[in-house]
Amino acid sequence: MLLAIYPRYKRVSNSSAPSEFVWEKFDFSRCDGVESNVYAWAVCSMLCFVFGFPATVAVLWEMFKICRRSTALSPNDFFILNLSTMDAVFLVFIPPGIMNHFIWMYWDFEAVWNSVYALNSSGRPLLMACTCLDCYLAVVHPVVYHRRKGLAPRVAMAGIVWALTIASGIAYFLVYKLYYSMFPVVVFLIAFVIIVICDGFIIHTLKKSGPGRNNIHPQKQRAIQTVIFSLVMVVISYLPPILLFLIGGPLMPSDKMFICTIGIPITVTSTLGSVVMPLLYLYNAGKLDFLKVGCCKL
């Protein structure tokens, strides 16, 4: 079903032997004639690395300091740790990946880079969904949340996500065109629906005023702003790929036009999440106060 859209992986067969899978080499000249879209993708991806990688390392440093103080990680910090680990590995591959795409052109390294993209296309959205589910329980069902506040169920959830991510990476490694099929779109769609529903209930619950109060408590207001900002980034990151793959894909005249005009450039939107979310975490933790200008913050 997934390969039905872009099925041109190679098989060797003869009359006496069964079909045999052949690892298809990436065609670096595929986008000749429409390079502008690929160049735009490369520039935006490098900008994401420049701003996102230092922020991700800073988040990991904060997690390390929490562990060094022998302080137990909260469920939210545990998911942040896993997200930041995925982001760091993914972002550090961007510069060599772009160099290989335009200069070195080693097709086997390209296959490795395709597999690393699973961290961003499968791991991050699924971990974001797990984080939102955990926050949903904490805000909407606090009694249930406090009964099961231990890390054991969160470790199990993260373990399942890591397993699915590794499996996706292996699939992308062997058949790179899977990345331009409906395979990642299904993951985006599942995560998108879960996050939007959970964040909607969280915002609705936080907006409820307490007895005798007409205004929302400042802490709740700050939490609502954080959730709304995160939700906006989720919409920007995952809704465009979903719509363009579902609507734009069938309208493209060929695989080449689809991959070069939609498939490759649209990956930038999901990469943005690996930049903005670490910065948002550092901002909420007060680690970006040095960027204050007068009475305003960045």
Where are the domains positioned within the chain? 38-283
Q: Whole-number mean pLDDT of the chain? A: 86
Least confident of 15-19, 99-103, 240-244, 263-267: 15-19
- Which pLDDT belongs to residue 253? 85
Please give the CATH topology (third level) of the domain spanning 38-283. Answer: Rhopdopsin 7-helix transmembrane proteins (1.20.1070)
pLDDT at 148 over 90: no
Residue 4: its pLDDT value, please?
36
Rounded to an integer, what distance in angstroms lies between the CA atom of residue 262 and that of residue 246? 11
Question: What was the pLDDT predicted at 160?
Answer: 98
Per-residue pLDDT for 62 more than 80? yes
Mean pLDDT throughout 258-284? 93
For the cut 80, the answer to whether the pLDDT of residue 175 exceeds it is yes
Tokens 């039905």 sit on residue: 4
Among 83-97, 136-150, 156-170, the range scoring the smallest mean pLDDT is 136-150
- pLDDT confidence of residue 10: 43
Mean pLDDT of 215-229: 84
Q: Is the pLDDT of residue 16 over 70?
A: no
The per-residue pLDDT for range 81-134, each reduced to its tens digit, is 999 999 999 999 999 999 999 999 999 999 999 999 999 999 999 999 999 999
Q: Is the pLDDT assigned to residue 184 strictly greater than 60? A: yes
Task: Report the predicted TM-score, pTM, of the whole model to 2 decimal places.
Answer: 0.88
**pLDDT given for residue 209 in this prediction:** 57
**46 token code pair:** 């490098």
**What percent of the chain has a predicted confidence (pLDDT) above 70?**
87
130, 147, 281: which is closest to 198 by C-alpha? 130
Predicted confidence band at 294 (pLDDT cuts at 50, 70, 90)?
Answer: very low
The candidate with the shortest Cα–Cα distance to 132, out of 165, 157, 168, is 157
Q: Please report the pLDDT score of residue 14 as a whole number.
A: 45
pLDDT of 66 reads 87
Q: Supply the pLDDT for residue 2.
A: 36
Residue 9 has pLDDT above 50, yes or no: no
Query: 174 vs 26, which has greater pLDDT?
Result: 174
Q: How confident is the model at residue 261 (pLDDT cuts 50, 70, 90)?
A: very high
Average of per-residue pLDDT across 43-47:
97
CA distance 198 to 191: 11
- Mean pLDDT, residues 251-280: 92
pLDDT at 241: 94
